[in-house]
A and B are shown apart, each in its own frame.
Chain A
């Protein structure tokens, strides 16, 4: 069964704008990860945040984690058309479980 739930399901923005995606989960975690998937391809890892961390940055990506609310957010700043993809959060405790994803469209 899936663990995380992303919100929104779909997001459409203009190039240069920021994109924020949220993830909620239900059980304990060791870490939470965000992945990107281009249509019909495998997933690519973006960033990992441990359960004892609250915020992490990687380039134009910023991830926050609130374990008390069991939620995480992914912020992509200064978006580009090439950022168009589906984004998934994954929670890891023993195994790794994914949410339904957010479909991001960045219009040039």
Chain B
């Protein structure tokens, strides 16, 4: 069966510090991968979308970046965090065929102080 792992669950980081959030998927190959951010009480904002290794679409031009060094690994990074980067970050995957559901990790709650 397929599983998605996202860590850490919570993170408190000072302004200006770097960030690395990791997401890995098991039990499938060539998944579509997503990073979303959710502000408190709000909807999900698509940050990055990847259909394969090295293929990443960025939706929001900001100080965040994403990489996909392996087929089932998706990393969200920042060189210098801003206060506005605080939020709930969710990783998700879906099969590469059309009309399939997405599966979400449990999320990382990031607080920038």
- Interface 0/1 of B94-109, CB less than 8 Å to A: 1000111111111101
Whole-angstrom CA separation of A1 from B36 in the bound complex: 11
Q: Which residue of B lies closest to A1 (CB)?
A: B59
Residues of A within 8 A of B88 (CB): 40
| Inter-subunit contact A45/B102 (CB<8 Å) | yes
Tell me, in angstroms, the Cα distance from A35 to B106 when the chains sit together: 14
Q: Scoring B residues 33 to 57 as 1 if CB is less than 8 Å from chain A, else 0, what string do you get?
A: 0101000011111100100000001
Q: Is the CB of B98 within 8 A of A45?
A: no
* Majority DSSP secondary structure for residues of A touching B: strand
- Contact of A2 with B45 at beta-carbon distance under 8 Å, contacts A40-B107, A45-B103 already known: yes
B90 CB-CB contact with A under 8 Å: yes
The B contact surface, by secondary structure, is strand
Question: Which chain B residues border A50 with CB–CB below 8 Å?
Answer: 99
A 1-37 to B, binary, CB cutoff 8 A, 1 in contact else 0: 1100010000000000000000000000011010100
B71-113 interface with A by 8 A CB criterion: 88, 90, 92, 94, 98-107, 109
> Is A44 located at the chain interface by the 8 A CB criterion?
yes
| Residues of chain B with a CB closer than 8 A to A97's CB | 46
Q: How large is the interface on B (under 10, 10 to 19, 20 to 34, 35 or more residues)?
A: 20 to 34
A41 an interface residue at 8 Å Cβ cutoff?
yes
Cβ-defined contact, B101 with A33, below 8 A: yes
**Chain A interface (Cβ within 8 Å of chain B)?**
1-2, 6, 30-31, 33, 35, 40-45, 48, 50, 88, 90, 92, 94-101, 103
List 20 A-B residue pairs with CB atoms under 8 Å apart, sorted by A's residue number. A1-B46, A1-B59, A2-B43, A6-B43, A30-B99, A31-B99, A33-B101, A43-B90, A43-B104, A45-B102, A50-B99, A88-B44, A90-B102, A92-B99, A94-B49, A95-B46, A95-B59, A98-B36, A98-B46, A101-B43
